[in-house]
Each structure stands twice: as C-alpha cells, then as structure tokens.
Structure 1
Amino acid sequence: MYAILDIETTGGKYNEEGITEIAIYKYNGHEVVDQFISLVNPEKDIQPFVVNLTGINNNMLRNAPKFYEVAKRIVEITENCIVVAHNAQFDYRILCTEFRRLGFEYERKSLCTVELSKNLIPGQQSYSLGKLVRSLGIPVTDRHRASGDALATVKLFKMLMDKDTQKTIIQNSVRANPKHQLEPRHIDIIADLPAITGVYYIHKEDGEIIYIGKSKNIKKRINQHFTNTNPKSKKIQALVRSVTYESTGSELVALLKESEEIKRIKPVFNRALRRTRFTHALYSFVDENDYVNLKIDVVDLRKKPITTFNNRQSGKSFIIKAIEEYQLCQKLTGVYKTKTSCFNYDIKTCEGACIQEESSETYNKRVNSLILKNSYSNKNMVIIDRGRDVDERSAILIENGVFKGLGFFNLNYQINNIEILKSIITPMNNNRDTQHIIQAYLRKNKKIKQIIFEEP
C-alpha cells in the first residue's frame, strides 16, 4: 500500500517552514482507496513568492485546521504504507519536522518519483513534476496545489510501476508489509483478488516471485492454483505468502507481459513457458512459373515466417479459410497435392492458377494481400486495445515490423504524437514469441483497431 502525497509550505528558512496544504491519496497499486486533502494553518506568514506560486494566502488559512488537528488523520491514512512523493526527501522531512514539534516521531518508508523517473524514464529534459508529466502526456490540473500535484504524482507512479519490469517496487512493498509475514490462509489471499483480466505474481515470504501467470479472471485462476492437487500446485500452495497482480484490461497486453516477464524473471515454477509457444508457421516461396506458393510447415528457425501457429491443425484451419476468403488455389497452398488442376478448379471456384490459366500477376496480388494482412513485417503501427479503466486504452507499438513495447493512455494526443507515445511505452523485447502472440491475437480479433503511421 502506498500513501502518495504532496505538501505546500510557507517557504522560509530550512526546517522553519510550515505546512499550508496537504493532500494524501492512499493507493493500492491499482486504484485510490482513500484520500485526505486539507488546507493547514501554519501559524506563520507565507512568503510572497509562495503566494504567487500557489495562490494560497494568509486569509485563506485563517480558519483552516492547525497541524495538530489533522495529525491523527495523517498517521491513520499512512499507516502500513510506503510514502511516495515527487522529491520525497523534501515532503517527508517537512512531515517529520511537524510531528517532531508535537513530540511524535513519525517514521515511514519512502519512495521518490524523481529518482524512480530518472531510472525508469531516462533522457527527459527535466524531472520537475510539471515538465515531466507534460512530456509524458499526463493530464494535470491545479498545478502547485497539493491535490493537483498529488494526483499527478499518482498517475506518474502508476506509469512508473508499469515501466518497472524488474518488479523491484512491488517486491520491496511485499517484503516491507508486515501482514505478509504471517501465515495467511489461502482463502484470505483469494478474497483480496479481483475477477479481472491481468497478470498475477505469486510471492514467497521474502517477496521473491515464484510463479507468473495471466488470466481473464485472476481470482478464479488463483483459486484453481490453491485447489489443484498436482505436484506443482502443492509446492506453490506450501510456499505462497502473497499474490500481487497487474490489471491489463486487454488480453493481448496480459499475454505479452506474461511472456516477457517469465523470460526475464525466470520464476522457479514457470519452466514450461520459458520455451517457445508455437510449433508451425506459414511460409511462402515462388515456383518456377512465378506463382507465390504458401505452405504450412514445422517452424524452421533459419527461415522468416509470415505468421505462426500453436499446432498444425491451427495452421491448416487458417489456410482453408484463406483459400475461401482470397480465392486461392488449393494446389498452390499445399492443401491439394496434384500434378494437374486442383479440386476447386474442377468445381469452378478456382481461377486456374494451378494450370497457369490465371496469370501469376493477378493471382499473386491476392496472395500478397493475405501476406500483408497477416504479417506486420516492415510496418509502423500502433495496436489499440482495452485499457484498465473505462476511459483508458492500451497501445502496442510496432516500428518497422519490430515490436517495441506497450503502454496505456487516456488522451488521443498521447498516441498521435510519436514522441509522447514512445515516452509512455514500456520497452519490451521483440522475439518469435511476441510476434506469434500479436499475430495470433490479431487473427482472432479482426476488429481490433490499428493505426498505421509514417516511418519516423
């Protein structure tokens, strides 16, 4: 659990500043579950430059509660939380100073989004909150007021958690949270999980991830892990102390994240998915008569496939549908072996490419349109799918046929501006598995939105 906060002060000498406004959003890694926002009477004058910056003046604070009146609420909302702030060293110091004046030692673990941003989003011109969120296309209102800045920090932190591919933030959180040191019953873990699409992480007591999976219903899938009686499930049941998750909204994003993170983190119980997901592929070649032929074959790592399949039957079903949709020849797609005309020619549904009756130029146009549709080779495109919330969408970026990564956005200008798009994207590896996942998903979901853009 995280307490994401922002504090406005009077300004002045070091350790003599007073709090004028505080905003705290309690964030569970997925959504805000509680909040506290209040002006605070600092019992001292505000520096003129601070009045100009924040708009908060002495008159506004005359009837505001003093710090000792809100101190209990601050302690309660940040209990068992990691304090997160943009320049946390400043905000945490101010809070500790105010509590010390009351004779209370305030201690919380803290995280700084400036430091996290420098590590996870390098190369930005500025890491001040205003300039950073603007460059990332994160909407912000009430700049230099505690509520507006804290809410912008929540959105920034959400993006940083997406970009933390090593899962350092969440594993440290699991390790630091005292309740996970107890022996929880499996039913208690399941009770806290949602029935949503996403990726889940099963942790040991020390926070180490021992299994990663994806599901359209995380609660149901974890329940299966805890009730199965096979040897692997029993070992997981004995070691599990916590389950964390990432909502993705999109099944495609969940598939890509699961594949990437299993390969990177190598959890002890994920051996099967470290291997490739597909066995067969669609290849093309030009015959002696200049016709483009298609063939479903076992994957050959030396060759570049058009698209890939989980098994031969899946590939065969694809090619049969393609023959009908694109009016292709059964002989030239490897479905009907013959030295003369194919069966479809005999029933007048093939134009005769099998016996050179249809010109290779005309026939190849249809074959190439199928190849173009089912391969993103050399394409620059963004695949738009569901997001984690109603007003959010996911974006999968492909440049020159290479999968670059994925991210989430709320505003259309974030994907229409290629530089902002690249900033919000979490870089991921392009490999045969990711190509297979994306192509298989696009075949299955034909109406999914794709935006083609010019080469940068």
Structure 2
Amino acid sequence: MVNPERDIQPFVVNLTGINSNMLKNAPKFYEVAKRIVEITEDCIIVAHNSSFDYRILKTEFKRLGFPFKRKTLCTVELSKQLIPDMASYSLGKLTRALGIPMSDRHRANGDAMATVKLFKMLLSKDLDKVIVKDAIKVEQKSKMAPNLNSIIEEMPSDTGVYYIHNSEGDIIYIGKSNNIRKRIIQHFTGTNSKSKKIQRLVNTVTYEKTGSELAALLKESAEIKKNKPIFNRALRRTIFTHALYSSIDDNGYINLSIDKSNREETPITTFSTRASGKHFLFKAVEEYNLCQKLTGLYQTKTSCFKFDVKECQGACINEEPIDLYNKKVTSLIEKYTYNSKNILIIDKGRAIEEKSVFLIENGIFKGMGFFDLNHQINNKKILSSLITPMDNDRDTQHIIQSYMRRNKRLKIIDLNNN
C-alpha cells in the first residue's frame, strides 16, 4: 500500500475495496521512490495496460523532480495479438478464461503474480518473437510543445471521432481513427503544411468513443457537414470515385461493370479507385464463377479467357443457361447491396458488454445507436428508442456499402424474417 495523500474516490473504493482509512499508516510515494528506481533499473516494466501504470509512475516521479524513464510491455496488447477473439481482456476475466489462478484481486501481489503467469503463457505462444522484436516500447524524447504533450496524455487508444479546437473553442478539424491517441500524435508530429497549421492553432482536443469503425466513419462524415471545419474543406470530394453497376444485355444476361460513380443509377457498391473496383470484380469472378467478358474484364467478341481454359460455363458465347448465370450474379448483387432491404447491421460497441446497431429500412439508412447485449434488439419499440436518426445521403451510402464489403464477418439481421 502507498498513501496517495488525498482521499480515495468512491468508484475506486468500489472497484478495489481500498479506502482512505486503510492507507493512513502506509508509506508515502517519496518514501518508496528510491526503491522503485532501484528495482526497475535496467529492467522492462511488464503490466496489464502498462500505459496506465507507467503514466502513474512518471507523474509521481515528476512531482519529485525526477525524470523516470523505462521500457514497457503491455500484456493487454500482447494478449489481443497472441490470443485473439477472447470475450474480455480485463485481467480478472482473461486469467479466469485461461485457467490462471488468481488471489487477492486488485492487490499488488495478486495482480502481479497473475500477470507473471499470463506473461509466461504469452512468451510460450510467441513463436514469431513478436515480444522481443516489436512489443517493447521505448519512450522517445519528445520534440513536441508541452501543451501538445499534455493533450496527448488525455487521449484514449480507442476507436472514435476526435475534434480539434482552437483557443476560441471553434472546431478546426474533425477526424476518425481506430486509435485516437496514435492519430493525434501523428497530427502533432507531422511536418506537412496542414499538420503545422493545426499544431500552431490547437488549444484542446475532445473526442467521442464509438467502438465501431463504421460508427466513427458515419459520425465523422455527418459532423464535418454540420460543422464545416477549416481544415476539412477539401474532404470527401473524391473518396468514392467509382462504382459497380449492373445491366441486361441483348441476350438477357446480367452484365456487371465498373464506372464513375456520378451516374444516375443506384450502384451496387462503391470504390475509392477504378483499380480497387477491378480488383473486387476479379475476385467476384472467381468466387461466383462468372464470365470475364460479361463483367467487363476481358474485351473480346468471342469467348473469354476463362472459357478457353474451361473455367467459364460459356455465358460469353450464349452456352450457359441464362437463368443459371443470372442467379449467380443476383446472389452477388444481393450480398453487396442493401437496396430495398430492411436490415440491422451489428458491430462492435464502446465496451465489452455493448454492441453498435445501424438501421436500414427499405434501403434507406435511418440512423445508429448502441445497445446492451441483454436487449432484444429486433423488438421495434426498443429499437426505435436506441436509434439516433442520421441523414441518408450519398456519402452515407458509400460508407456503409464499402464497410459491408470489407468486413465479411459483420452480423446482419434481416428484419423481414423477424
């Protein structure tokens, strides 16, 4: 125990069971500081969520005027990398799931011994030597202004949307990231013209965690339109330049093609470049056994290359039955578009016990929200109370279609079947 020389906050008492009375006779930090320096010298600090523990140590040493600097390893980050798909990465739940015994929860000895056992397990699983080669963090000497450093210290390493404000409180830039803290560091250390202007004008940074990247993308787009920050002016003009369209040829076959996304027809899905659209089509031809000629990938007046090597059923020369071929194309279209559909898209939430939900009715995006895992999400009354309405514009459609295409493990609930 260490006496922090201040009252313990109620939520910490509830979490740890440690109250102020228990710390009255404990040593103060300055009394144990020398010993901490001695036992950590030339060592790597291993901790579960090491950035938190290390920040506390640095802050306390800073108050004593001592520059404390050590290498660190985080068993949370390592566990996510080496033991993926666990329900929770909190120390208690993770060790329980892995069968690691734990005693004296939220006490130095109990937590430390559990972390040692977890770390040994991670070392044995680390066949590629990620821990030795990549995971050790060395604190770099900062070249940033002190005010920028203090802003970074407050940033979370979570997915969400962040807002950069000037001294008047005006929002000058809005962005999204899967790691807000890392992205803000990039802004504050960047050397391009925009980064330097932001560094000169920034006063504070606020943020909103979303958990889901899709939620962050949609919120970023909506917030930029609403606030029109000075450093977002050029954004979103050409993010989705090309799209996948379908048409029926003279023989009755459904043809697919990549074209510029400013056509009047509703696209099946959209792409940031023509090349990415072509790449998608090549994969689709393989997956659905389609014809290269009827997807615009092989220019010919006769049979396509795939037919010549017996990998196409002959739609290019009218040999494959029209209904069979069109059925394959329709299944592809069904998978990658939400036109006229009534669906819920379920994605990550801001916490382990939470999920994000996105509502689409008759092919129109209605809004998004968050729900507890215990809720019956397909109950219409509950759903309407959870959803925050959002605009259904062209950018929104592009974002959702692209995200659905890139994230094949998304949970989709068909509301017509409920």
Instruction: Give the TM-score range, shorter chain.
Output: 0.5 to 0.7
Of the three residues 382, 388, 400, the one matched with 1:426 is: 388
Match status 1:287 vs 2:249 = yes
Quote the residue 2:262 is aligned against. Answer: 300
Quote the residue 1:364 is aligned against. Answer: 326
Quote the residue 1:416 is aligned against. Answer: 378
CA drift of 1:236 comes to 1.3
Match status 1:265 vs 2:227 = yes
Quote the residue 1:353 is aligned against. Answer: 315
Aligned to 2:360, the other structure's residue is in SS state strand
Letter in 1 for 2:359: L
CA drift of 1:274 comes to 4.3
1:34 and 1:190 map into 2 onto residues whose CA distance is 24
Match status 1:236 vs 2:198 = yes
Aligned to 1:282, the other structure's residue is in SS state strand
Aligned residues: 280
Match status 1:386 vs 2:357 = no
Letter in 2 for 1:324: E
Match status 1:334 vs 2:296 = yes
Quote the residue 2:286 is aligned against. Answer: 324
Of the three residues 170, 173, 176, the one matched with 1:211 is: 173
CA drift of 1:452 comes to 0.6
Letter in 1 for 2:152: I
2:376 and 2:208 map into 1 onto residues whose CA distance is 22
Counterparts in 2 of 1:274 and 1:287: CA distance versus 1, 3 Å: closer
1:161-172 to 2 correspondences below 5 Å: none
Aligned-pair RMSD on alpha carbons?
A: 2.0
Normalised by the length of structure 2, the TM-score is 0.64
Q: Which runs of 4+ in 1 moved over 2 A?
A: 32-36, 411-414
Quote the residue 1:220 is aligned against. Answer: 182
Counterparts in 2 of 1:365 and 1:224: CA distance versus 1, 3 Å: same
Normalised by the length of structure 1, the TM-score is 0.59
Aligned to 1:205, the other structure's residue is in SS state coil
Of the three residues 345, 361, 365, the one matched with 1:399 is: 361
Match status 1:377 vs 2:318 = no
Unpaired runs of 5+ residues, structure 2, are 1-8, 15-144
Match status 1:197 vs 2:155 = no
CA drift of 1:411 comes to 3.6
Counterparts in 2 of 1:302 and 1:223: CA distance versus 1, 3 Å: same
1:336 and 1:410 map into 2 onto residues whose CA distance is 49
Letter in 2 for 1:308: T
Asked whether the equivalents of residues 348 and 356 of structure 2 are also in contact (C-alpha less than 8 Å), the reply is yes
CA drift of 1:196 comes to 1.0
Asked whether the equivalents of residues 400 and 455 of structure 1 are also in contact (C-alpha less than 8 Å), the reply is no
Letter in 1 for 2:230: V
Quote the residue 2:218 is aligned against. Answer: 256
Letter in 1 for 2:300: T
1:366 and 1:412 map into 2 onto residues whose CA distance is 38
1:35 and 1:204 map into 2 onto residues whose CA distance is 37
CA drift of 1:35 comes to 8.9
Aligned to 2:340, the other structure's residue is in SS state coil
2:289 and 2:373 map into 1 onto residues whose CA distance is 41
Deviations 1:265-296 (A, max 9, x none): 11111112242420111011101000000001
Quote the residue 1:277 is aligned against. Answer: 239
CA drift of 1:184 comes to 6.7
Q: Relative contact order (C-alpha < 8 Å, sep 6+): which is higher?
A: 1
Aligned to 1:324, the other structure's residue is in SS state helix
CA drift of 1:301 comes to 3.6
Deviations 1:192-251 (A, max 9, x none): 111111110111223221110011111111111111122211221122111111111111
Asked whether the equivalents of residues 380 and 455 of structure 1 are also in contact (C-alpha less than 8 Å), the reply is no
